[in-house]
Amino acid sequence: MNYPLEGLKVLDMSRVLAGPLAGRLLCDLGADVVKIEPPAGDITRLWGAEIGGIAGYYNQQNVGKRDICIDLSAAGGAELVKALVKEADILVENFRPSVMPRFGLDYASLKLINPRLIMLSISGFGANGPESRRAAYAPIIHAEIGLVARQSGLVDVEAAGKKYTDIAVPVADTNASLHGLVGLLAALYMRERTGLGQHIDLAMIDASLVNDDQVQYALEDSAATRAMPPEIWDTVTGPVIIAGDFRFVWRQLVAHCGVLDPTPPGASLSEKIRLRRAAAQSFIQQLPDRETLIATLDSMNLAWGDVRDIEDIQSQPTVKHRGTIVQVDNKEGGTRPVVQSPYRFSDAKSGIRGPAPAIGEHNTAVLKEWLGMSEIEVEECLASGVLFAPVQSKACD
């Protein structure tokens, strides 16, 4: 079996998460993804446990890629990137929109070199708007589109003595990564018909709003019509979340489990809700063991889930069964855990193909394979400062 994207050449000039995750998934699908990194390195090389010279966060988002280190500020740096662009199918970058043009690496310039190039540019607020030059990481987008306020719940933040807090997952970044991947694959399909490349201007704010299934309530001022959120219940086996709003859960308890409505005649709506919730919680808490709890929830066709700590994720039954956590080479003679890509094809391969690279690890190999450069030419690039390679990475070239 082959990888779906085998044979594609990708330049990944991105850093942190939104771009690197898109590049990593392209790599998992079989593309030759070459990360172009500045001498200072991706900041995520400082995040997480360092094993074999590679930090955990960086490893997670860059497994399987190759790495060359180019100093764009050095004379000849941008020209070397352009030479690689001529051979590439895809380029991914997530600088602010003003950065690539500064080095002559904007799409208008690059398509003259390679009309088949597909370029994905991820930014917080898009390329040409009033806020296009703003720095943007996921928390900024979360705040701007109302996710931070929503996270604070339905209580009055000031009255409750609480502070606003960011959500615990960088969804603005991952939304941009995945929509970027969709855009790239669509552009590849279109290139098959037209022979021409494409520039994809992807704004994190757009990608996050289109993924927000709650935004239409605000757009139409219809919050009163929304479904009630799922709730977490105390049970004999610990906290369990039950999907579906309470009105549905209550009807199922009455119809399938014989729970009696404790509401007296003439009770107010708030009193009715309070009493029914108390009756539901009492019934669930009196279930004697986990087996009975699960059987009861399943008999009512209620979707449920254990509220787990992330540290316990490797024992989750489906994660364990599907091999969602895999071990990769840690560059010290052992292995380290990484989350596998989610794709399971019937007649194609996918998945992590190796550890994340050291900075500049593949300078020689990539420039030989892509550009036919000799070792002497690579050494000249190193001597001139266009290329950078730490001592520990030279043996890997």
CA atoms of 12 and 157, how far apart (whole Å):
41
User: 60-76: string of b/e by CB count within 10 Å (b at 16+)?
Assistant: bbbbbbbbbbbbbebeb
| Shared domain check, 302 and 326 | no
Q: Name the domain boundary from 290, 311, 332.
A: 311
CA atoms of 20 and 64, how far apart (whole Å):
12
Would you state the pLDDT for residue 107?
97
| Shared domain check, 118 and 18 | yes
Would you state the pLDDT for residue 395?
33
Q: Which of 389, 356, 337 is nearest to 35 (CA)?
A: 356
Residue 20 · residue 61 · CB < 8 Å: yes
Q: Is residue 48 part of a domain?
A: yes
User: 251-279: string of b/e by CB count within 10 Å (b at 16+)?
Assistant: ebbeeeeebeeebeeeeeeeeeeeebeeb
Residue 262: both structure tokens together: 């404790």
| Shared domain check, 260 and 243 | yes
Residue-wise pLDDT for 306-329, tens only, equals: 999 999 999 999 999 999 999 999
Identify the three-state secondary structure at position 38: coil
Long-range contacts of 107-115 (CB under 8 A, 24+ apart): 107/199, 110/82, 110/85, 111/197, 111/199, 113/82, 113/85, 113/86, 114/85, 114/86, 114/87, 114/88, 114/197, 115/195, 115/196, 115/197
Residue 191 · residue 88 · CB < 8 Å: no
Identify the three-state secondary structure at position 249: helix
Q: Is residue 16 part of a domain?
A: yes
| Shared domain check, 104 and 182 | yes
| Shared domain check, 165 and 16 | yes
The residues near 140 (Cβ < 8 Å, ≥ 6 apart) are 124, 134, 172
Would you state the pLDDT for residue 390?
74
Residue 208 · residue 143 · CB < 8 Å: no
| Shared domain check, 153 and 49 | yes
| Shared domain check, 60 and 132 | yes
The residues near 29 (Cβ < 8 Å, ≥ 6 apart) are 3, 4, 5, 341, 343, 350
Q: Is residue 221 part of a domain?
A: no
Q: Is residue 220 part of a domain?
A: no
CA atoms of 68 and 121, how far apart (whole Å):
20
Q: What is the CATH number of the domain that holds 90?
A: 3.40.50.10540
Residue 92 · residue 118 · CB < 8 Å: no
The angle formed by the CA atoms of residues 314, 319 and 324, to the nearest 5 degrees, is 95
Q: At what angle do helices 246-257 and 269-285 cross, to 10 degrees?
A: 60
Q: Is residue 375 part of a domain?
A: yes
Q: Domain range for residue 30?
A: 9-213+316-394
Q: Name the domain boundary from 295, 311, 327.
A: 311
| Shared domain check, 331 and 238 | no
* DSSP at 158: T
Q: Is residue 219 part of a domain?
A: no
Would you state the pLDDT for residue 156?
53
In this model, does residue 161 exceed pLDDT 90? no
Would you state the pLDDT for residue 145?
93
| Shared domain check, 173 and 152 | yes
Q: Which of 355, 174, 22 is nearest to 12 (CA)?
A: 22
DSSP H helical ranges for the chain: 18-28, 56-62, 77-85, 99-102, 107-113, 138-144, 147-151, 171-194, 204-210, 215-219, 246-257, 269-285, 290-299, 317-322, 363-371, 375-384, 391-394
User: Considering the chain, what percentage of its residues have pLDDT values greater than 70?
Assistant: 96
> How high is the mean pLDDT of the chain?
92
| Shared domain check, 113 and 69 | yes
pLDDT band at residue 102 using 50, 70 and 90 as cut-offs: very high
Q: Name the domain boundary from 293, 311, 329.
A: 311
Q: Please name the helix (run of DSSP H) or strand (run of DSSP E) that holds residue 240, with its range, or none.
A: strand 238-242
Would you state the pLDDT for residue 382?
94
Would you state the pLDDT for residue 397?
40
Report the domain count for the chain. 2
Q: Is the sign of the CA dihedral 281, 286, 287, 290 positive or negative?
A: positive
| Shared domain check, 191 and 118 | yes
Q: Is residue 60 part of a domain?
A: yes
What is the model's pTM?
A: 0.89
pLDDT band at residue 167 using 50, 70 and 90 as cut-offs: confident
CA atoms of 148 and 23, how far apart (whole Å):
28
Chain CA centroid to CA 395, Å: 32
| Shared domain check, 190 and 155 | yes
CA atoms of 74 and 288, how far apart (whole Å):
70
CA atoms of 274 and 262, how far apart (whole Å):
10
Q: Is residue 365 part of a domain?
A: yes
Return the C-alpha torsion angle 127, 131, 134, 138, nearest 10: -80
